[in-house]
């Protein structure tokens, strides 16, 4: 008998420091207004972002001080490893498995550089076996939660019986750029937060949802839409304001194309579970997928409570959907650098 790849568990985690949107605007004004002459006209983005609060790696005062790349990297290593351990331990506990049962760890993170990578730094605290296989992945950005879970599911399918732990950690706030800020920096200050998520994946019939397909779509000549550029302070965000319009025009056809590879049509999907890049992106996705206005309610709730946490965000939405009760057929999807659409087809376990 052939068993499907299933999700045994799903856990999320956030750092302890909470910042509301009014405070985020005050700090952005303090740090960016002098270097960006049109700052006040741009402040509407804070009101329109759909974010009420977010959780951050460091307290507010840390962001008010100049931070060079070594300081940002040190903060990333400290907080990212802590969040990795928290999310991974919760996921393993839910799955009823000890850390030594893990055969492969897939780690996705694009907001900091760690060599050795996060799972190696967490190995002793977690209690992983010394022969655990490590698959660290960098550069997937906001699509990383979906694409990374897809990688984990393919590894589980290739080695039936093995336990694959997927962890994604993103600390977007540590990339805040205040020297010669541009529009992308102001939008980022209004949108992004920090978080982590983890899943345990294994071939079998005991999980809460089956991963029955995955697909990606990369649009050519779109490298300038989203990503990083290296600057003296570290990462400088590339975030094109045309993303909502691009999604509105192209995402529906891309989804139909991705589903067609699995013999499916968008009309057959009971629920699209989307990465909420921002309020305008959520609106655009509803239009592109021919959904009713307000259909992506959990997406808006996650954005409101946590901001855009990059890769983990889609899994936060999936967690809320699971609490409500997953429909028979859903598609987890996200957009990210490349410019890329990523999707996973999920069927509710019997």
Domain containing 312 — which CATH number? 3.40.47.10
1 has pLDDT over 60: no
Q: Which residue carries 């290739």 as its tokens?
A: 158
Annotation marks residue 199 as catalytic: no
pLDDT greater than 70 at residue 40: yes
- Backbone phi, then psi, for 3, in 5-degree steps? -100, 155
How does pLDDT run across 294-331, given as a tens digit for each residue? 999 999 999 999 999 999 999 999 999 999 999 999 99
Say what the pTM is. 0.95
Q: Report the domain count for the chain.
A: 2
Among 142, 172, 199, 274, the one annotated catalytic: 142
What is the longest distance spanned by two Cα atoms in the chain? 66
120 and 225 fall within a common domain: no
Q: Are residues 161 and 265 in the same domain?
A: no
Are 279 and 254 part of one and the same domain? yes
**Around Cβ 254, how many Cβ atoms within 10 Å?**
21
| pLDDT classification of 31: cutoffs 50, 70, 90 | confident
Which residue, chain included where needed, has tokens 């995402």? 251
- Are 84 and 99 members of one domain? yes
Closest alpha carbon to 311 in 48, 80, 74: 80
Q: Can you give the residue range of the structural domain that contains 296?
A: 209-348
Q: Please give the Cα distance from 182 to 177 (Å, whole number).
A: 9
Q: Is the dihedral of CA 119, 122, 126, 127 positive or negative?
A: positive
CA–CA separation, 16 and 342 (whole Å): 30
Q: What does the alpha-carbon distance between residue 280 and residue 6 come to, in Å, rounded to a whole number?
A: 33
Domain boundary among 160, 186, 203: 203
Three-state DSSP state, 50: coil
Label the pairing between strands 234-239 and 226-231. Answer: antiparallel
State whether 67 and 189 are in the same domain: yes
Choose one of 203, 223, 243: the last residue of a domain: 203
């Amino acid at each position: 008998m052939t068993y499907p790849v299933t999700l045994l568990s799903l856990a999320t985690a956030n750092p302890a420091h909470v910042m509301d949107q009014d405070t985020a605007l005050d700090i952005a004004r303090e740090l960016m207004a002098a270097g960006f002459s049109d700052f006040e006209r741009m402040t509407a983005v804070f009101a329109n972002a759909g974010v009420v609060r977010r959780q951050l790696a460091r307290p507010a005062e840390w962001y008010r001080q100049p931070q060079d790349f070594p300081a940002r990297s040190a903060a990333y290593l400290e907080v990212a490893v802590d969040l990795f351990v928290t999310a991974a331990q919760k996921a393993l506990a839910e799955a009823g498995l000890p850390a030594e049962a893990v055969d492969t760890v897939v780690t996705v993170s694009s907001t900091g550089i760690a060599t050795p990578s996060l799972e190696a730094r967490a190995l002793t605290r977690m209690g992983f076996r010394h022969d655990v296989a490590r698959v660290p992945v960098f550069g997937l950005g906001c699509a990383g939660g979906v694409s990374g879970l897809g990688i984990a599911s393919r590894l589980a399918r290739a080695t039936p019986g093995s336990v694959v732990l997927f962890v994604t950690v993103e600390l977007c706030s540590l990339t805040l750029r205040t020297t010669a800020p541009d529009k992308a920096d102001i939008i980022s200050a209004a949108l992004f937060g920090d978080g982590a998520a983890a899943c345990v994946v294994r071939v079998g019939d005991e999980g809460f949802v089956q991963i029955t397909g995955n697909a990606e779509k990369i649009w050519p000549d779109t490298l300038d839409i989203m990503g990083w550029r290296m600057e003296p302070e570290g990462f400088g965000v590339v975030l094109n304001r045309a993303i909502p319009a691009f999604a509105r025009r192209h995402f529906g056809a891309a989804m139909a194309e991705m589903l067609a590879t699995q013999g499916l049509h968008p009309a057959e999907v009971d629920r699209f579970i989307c990465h909420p890049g921002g309020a305008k992106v959520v609106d655009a996705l509803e239009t592109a997928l021919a959904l009713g206005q307000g259909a992506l309610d959990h997406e808006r709730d996650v954005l409101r409570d946590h901001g855009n946490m990059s890769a983990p965000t889609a899994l936060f939405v999936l967690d809320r959907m699971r609490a409500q009760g997953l429909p028979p057929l859903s598609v987890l999807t996200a957009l990210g650098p490349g410019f890329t659409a990523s999707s996973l087809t999920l069927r509710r376990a019997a």
